[in-house]
């Protein structure tokens, strides 16, 4: 089934957290009324001081949004809070909305034991599923334990809907201090611990159609948080297609040389990041195609470009994305399109604040019409300065 998802990025300047959220929701209200859309998921990027403040901010967000929904008769959207500092605003929000006439198709679900909310949209052609950011019970538990707990909650959501793990088409993996290695013998990098947990979780199913599109990105606080979109199609007219990029080795095909940490005890090797470079969701007439672009960096083959500076890394990253969504690459994967898909949004992840202006200048030169947010965070490899993900859309 096709689904018309509408993306917006809104920013407000720094002041009291509650005031920033209220102004953001004012902007959202105006946009929803003007475009006759209803919010499905809201992802906020903020700068809490620690995990305690992260929990307080998240609860405050949910309370203010629920109050606004009650006032305007909206269904409470899914809410995720990401501890990544906005580099050009005090608070930034990515909204994912649907046309108002489609909102009656949305079904809200809550699993109390897992404390997880999610939505489904279903018709005779299939089912789409969207989760909020799924969190562990404790943000202070070891990263491997958090990862296993969060993925188990995700598994419970999919089980409740009769959807296999391989129906995940897009996954966001937020990992506190992603490149950190705890100071004890045999400790793994946080990202490698997450990859081990994900590999065990994914081993429960067969991935004949390729792994999900995904981003594994650092956060300052917030432990492990996972958010997914999934799709189960019953019609031959709908499909999910994994997109590779001949400029880069598939992440799940990385050699042991570029992975950090020690071998997993069961797999007996360091597990690879299990994701595709992109996933295309091809719908029926009128819905077109949506391309989920995974987190992309200045990697050629499986090696990072090092010692070249932010300008070269940004150009290389954007070249990787351009090729990934190009007509020749789509046709190589069996997708016929008349025009190159139009990129609607970018999330630009930067390793330090002084990288904003050179990176933004180049992004705007390549893609002047694309909405973009810029946040401060660690990328999955120490030598990488920038990572970019996005969404592209091709109309029928």
Packing angle between helix 356-366 and helix 309-324, nearest 10 degrees? 30
DSSP H/E element including 357: helix 356-366
Residue 345: how many other CB atoms lie within 10 Å: 19
The pLDDT assigned to 256 comes to 46
Tens-place pLDDT, residues 75-113: 899 999 999 999 999 999 999 999 999 888 999 999 999
Cα–Cα distance, 62 to 93 (Å, whole number): 14
SS3 at position 391: strand
The pLDDT assigned to 385 comes to 94
Residue-level pLDDT, tens digit, the chain, 396 residues: 567 899 999 999 999 999 999 999 999 999 999 999 999 999 999 999 999 999 999 999 999 999 988 877 778 999 999 999 999 999 999 999 999 998 889 999 999 999 999 999 998 889 999 999 999 999 999 999 999 999 999 999 999 999 999 999 999 999 999 998 887 766 788 988 999 999 999 999 999 999 999 999 999 999 999 999 999 998 888 899 999 888 776 655 544 454 455 555 554 455 566 789 999 998 754 457 899 999 998 887 666 677 789 999 999 999 999 999 999 999 999 998 888 899 999 999 999 999 999 999 999 999 999 999 999 998 877 788 999 999 999 876
pTM of the model: 0.92
* Residue ranges with strand state E in the chain: 6-12, 37-46, 78-83, 85-86, 91-99, 106-111, 116-123, 126-131, 168-176, 213-219, 224-233, 239-243, 278-282, 289-296, 299-300, 303-304, 342-350, 371-376, 386-394
Tens-place pLDDT, residues 301-344: 666 677 789 999 999 999 999 999 999 999 999 998 888 899 99
CA-to-CA separations, 269 to 156, 195, 272, 310, 343, in angstroms, rounded: 28, 12, 9, 33, 37
């Amino acid at each position: 089934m096709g689904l018309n998802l509408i993306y917006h990025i809104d920013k407000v300047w720094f002041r009291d957290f509650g005031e920033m959220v209220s102004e953001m929701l004012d902007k959202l209200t105006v946009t929803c009324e003007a475009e006759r859309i209803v919010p499905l998921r809201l992802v906020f990027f903020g700068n809490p001081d620690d995990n305690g403040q992260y929990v307080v901010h998240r609860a405050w967000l949910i309370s203010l949004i629920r109050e606004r929904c009650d006032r305007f008769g909206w269904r409470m959207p899914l809410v995720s809070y990401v501890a990544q500092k906005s580099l050009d605003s005090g608070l930034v929000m990515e909204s994912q909305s649907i046309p108002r006439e489609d909102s009656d198709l949305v079904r809200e679900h809550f699993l109390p034991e897992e404390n997880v909310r999610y939505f489904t949209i279903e018709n005779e052609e299939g089912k789409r599923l969207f989760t909020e950011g799924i969190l562990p019970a404790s943000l202070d538990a070891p990263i491997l334990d958090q990862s296993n707990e969060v993925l188990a909650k995700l598994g419970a959501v999919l089980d409740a809907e009769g959807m296999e793990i391989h129906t995940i088409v897009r996954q966001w993996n937020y990992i506190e201090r992603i490149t950190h290695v705890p100071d004890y013998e045999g400790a793994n990098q946080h990202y490698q611990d997450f990859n081990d947990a994900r590999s065990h979780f994914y081993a429960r199913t067969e991935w004949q159609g390729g792994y999900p599109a995904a981003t594994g990105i650092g956060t300052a606080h917030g432990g492990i948080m996972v958010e997914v979109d999934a799709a189960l199609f019953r019609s031959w007219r709908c499909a999910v297609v994994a997109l590779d990029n001949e400029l880069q080795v598939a992440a799940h095909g990385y050699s042991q040389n570029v992975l950090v940490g020690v071998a997993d005890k069961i797999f007996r090797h360091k597990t690879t990041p299990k994701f595709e470079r992109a996933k295309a969701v091809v719908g029926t007439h009128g819905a077109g195609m949506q391309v989920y672009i995974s987190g992309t960096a200045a990697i050629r083959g499986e090696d990072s470009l090092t010692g070249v500076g932010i300008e070269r890394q940004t150009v290389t990253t954007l070249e990787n994305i351009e090729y990934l969504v190009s007509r020749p690459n789509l046709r190589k994967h069996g997708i016929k399109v008349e025009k190159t898909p139009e990129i609607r949004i970018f999330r630009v992840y930067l390793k330090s604040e002084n990288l904003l202006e050179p990176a933004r200048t180049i992004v705007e030169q390549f893609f002047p019409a694309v909405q973009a947010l810029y946040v401060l965070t660690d990328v999955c490899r120490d030598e990488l300065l920038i990572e970019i993900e996005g969404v592209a859309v091709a109309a029928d």
